[in-house]
Amino acid sequence: MPNRLAHETSPYLLQHADNPVDWWPWSAEAFEEARRRDVPVLLSVGYSSCHWCHVMAHESFEDDAIAALVNDHFVAVKVDREERPDVDAVYMEAVQAATGQGGWPMTVFLTPDAAPFYFGTYFPPEPRHGMPSFPDVLEGVRDAWADRRDEVGEVADRIVKDLAGRSLAYGGDGVPGQEELAQALLGLVREYDATRGGFGGAPKFPPSMALEFLLRHHARTGSEGALQMAADTCEAMARGGIYDQLGGGFARYAVDRAWVVPHFEKMLYDNALLCRVYAHLWRATGSDLARRVALETADFMVRELRTPEGGFASALDADSDDGTGKHVEGAYYAWTPEQLTTVLGAEDAALAAAHYGVTEDGTFEHGSSVLQLPQGSGVADADRLASIAARLLAAREERERPGRDDKVVAAWNGLAIAALAETGALLDRPDLIERATEAADLLVRVHMDETARLTRTSKDGRAGTNDGVLEDYADVAEGFLALAAVTGEGAWLDFAGFLLDLVIDRFTAEGGALYDTAHDAETLIRRPQDPTDNAAPSGWTAAAGALLSYAAHTGSEAHRAAAEGALGVVKALGPRAPRFIGWGLAVAEALLDGPREIAVVGAPGDEAFQELRRTALRATAPGAVLATGAPDSEEFPLLKDRPLVAGRPAAYVCRHFVCDAPVTDPAELTGRL
């Protein structure tokens, strides 16, 4: 019989709706039930494409004996971390502080007042590799609650007090300058893997935000070293197994240093960020590889993640059926030489194996290989290789596909809107701009109320129940600003302004610091606040970027001041931990450059106007904003008092609304930018 999760919209929660565990969603009622029964709360946090979440579910939460132990002695609460990043953040901070590590599934035991007192992540059903079994953990916590309640209460109180004292005061100490950005670059150089690209060792994550910083730093300073690190890392990832060589799109991370074997889940936010990076790399270098990967990644998002309502789903699972009824990570993507031969025949299979690095021993598990494009792989017969790729892709489509998390997350859709809009404009793909516009329409129609407050998620066109957090407001504003620049429709600028006004009013603390949740959000054991960029830009740094762009568009001193206040954290953290505040560093590059404001005036049907517009879109000036339209159009403040020049379309390049002399020649505009 289904439990309470059957009424939820989260695909992750619905995966647990038929567990014998009597799950509750996160709610005041769940904690009231724990008080009534005088039992602890078992909080389990995960997400639908999490491999080890699935493992623990199959091993423990679907086991009748373990479920009975949970039901008899705990109130069990299941949380989708993608729906409630605030809940995830505060308890993950506690887990990391107590154990020195984190991850998902996250397993935390709480008092009925939501105070944590025992922590872990994945627990096996029996003792394994030095880990206690989940039943042993449950029995130990049960006994501690029954026999040592005072000790449990003291631990919980100490943890809550420690977390409450961790609020950040970064902000108001000035903005990062050239010295801090140079130190950040030096820090990245020290951690750079000159042999394999990227930063640090295994596991190796795509450094999307650091790459954006490197590209902007090169654009502002001419640093060839910064550009080389970005270009070489992008090439290494694009040639590696982390990139889907048949279908496009990037997996979450590589388990090795050389990008060979990925953790196969595919996330919307990773692909949106990387699509934009590769489009910007093409803009800076003209690289054919960057162009191909940007377009293939955009096409992957549209083909695999777009929902019927026009938004973008959150993720694809890592696991799928391997053909024997067993769910195996990577089963959809990996190939053996025999499988190549079955699909292609012996001669083409040999070429495919050489081209994609498929070996007899395999690069993955059980003799299978993840497709790569090793350096020197042959491209002499492009037509034949294209035919091979098409046949392999068609054969792969016959395999069971990984599951898809269909919920639409506002923040990640904002990132996808920005990526698709800019990639479509830069690489002459108007269909991508149309898909970005449709996703933006969905966010306005379903996720925004009449006061512009955002709902975090939707599914099947129906808004969820959770309020948007800072990253939702910031990333959706970023997407709308990109769409305004690409389409010339000022309504998107207005929508961004509504959201950013709420950021200032509801998320900003004294001195410019930002919180992840609004002033009137649900009270947790602590108000989450994290400026560091992780898998995606933090809400803090994303807000700084969107506020700065909006200020450049409108001349608003209030929004610029808010951006500068938020960037105080980059001044503090950038030189010390550049890998973990890459988007903040990229925003700081824009601030140092102005950012430049470009107004292109003329008639949309005029080819001279379109050429100036295309030139402006291809500007590498960090964080430049663009407004296009008729002279004195009310669509954009930047167009006011910007006339034609001798009746011809013209471009104005400005900083703080103070402009250089207008130009009518695209080549001269390129020089200005």
Query: Residue 587 is inside which H or E element, if any?
Result: helix 582-593
* pLDDT single digits (tens) 193-206: 999 999 999 999 99
Residue 379 has pLDDT above 60, yes or no: no
Q: Which of 299, 364, 314, 302 is nearest to 334 (CA)?
A: 364
Question: Averaged over 443-451, what is the pLDDT?
Answer: 96
Distance CA(499)–CA(506), nearest Å, equals 10
Amino acid identity of residue 421, one-letter, is A
* pLDDT single digits (tens) 67-97: 999 999 999 999 999 999 999 999 998 888 8
Residue 393, pLDDT score:
96
* pLDDT single digits (tens) 618-654: 999 999 999 999 998 899 999 999 999 999 999 999 9
State how far the alpha carbon of 479 is from the alpha carbons of 161, 206, 288, 575, in Å. Answer: 38, 21, 26, 28
Chain centre to alpha carbon of residue 326? 30
Residue 162, pLDDT score:
83
* pLDDT single digits (tens) 286-316: 999 999 999 999 999 999 999 999 999 999 9
**What average pLDDT does the chain have?**
94
Distance CA(574)–CA(210), nearest Å, equals 11
Residue 366, pLDDT score:
87
State how far the alpha carbon of 421 is from the alpha carbons of 437, 507, 553, in Å. Answer: 8, 28, 18
Query: Residue 404 is inside which H or E element, if any?
Result: strand 404-405
DSSP-assigned beta bridge partners for residue 369: 335
Question: Averaged over 438-462, what is the pLDDT?
Answer: 96
Q: What percent of the chain has pLDDT over 90?
A: 87
Residue 403, pLDDT score:
93
* pLDDT single digits (tens) 573-604: 999 999 999 999 999 999 999 999 999 999 98
Distance CA(439)–CA(408), nearest Å, equals 10
Residue 322 has pLDDT above 80, yes or no: no
Distance CA(274)–CA(284), nearest Å, equals 15
Q: Mean pLDDT check: name the lowest of 148-157, 183-192, 464-473.
A: 148-157
Cβ atoms of 56 and 21 within 8 Å: the answer is: no
Residue 236, pLDDT score:
98
Residue 167, pLDDT score:
63
Pinpoint the alpha helices (H) of 317-370. 337-344, 346-356
Residue 102, pLDDT score:
86
Q: Is the peptide bond before 127 cis (omega within 30 degrees of 0)?
A: no
* pLDDT single digits (tens) 131-173: 899 999 999 999 999 999 999 999 989 988 887 776 666 655 7
Strand, coil or helix: 459? strand
Q: What percent of the chain has pLDDT over 70?
A: 98
Residue 227, pLDDT score:
98
State how far the alpha carbon of 452 is from the alpha carbons of 467, 477, 503, 523, 644, in Å. Answer: 12, 11, 11, 22, 36
Neighbours of 237 (CB within 10 A): 26
Neighbours of 473 (CB within 10 A): 30
Strand, coil or helix: 661? coil
DSSP-assigned beta bridge partners for residue 243: 250
Q: Mean pLDDT check: name the lowest of 171-180, 209-218, 349-358, 417-426.
A: 171-180
Q: Is the peptide bond before 595 cis (omega within 30 degrees of 0)?
A: yes
Distance CA(255)–CA(527), nearest Å, equals 33
Residue 188 has pLDDT above 80, yes or no: yes
* pLDDT single digits (tens) 206-227: 999 999 999 999 999 999 999 9
Residue 51, pLDDT score:
85
Question: Averaged over 415-422, what is the pLDDT?
Answer: 98
Question: Averaged over 411-417, what is the pLDDT?
Answer: 98
* pLDDT single digits (tens) 491-515: 999 999 999 999 999 999 988 899 9
* pLDDT single digits (tens) 245-285: 999 999 999 999 999 999 999 999 999 999 999 999 999 99
Q: What's the token pair of residue 459?
A: 């599914």
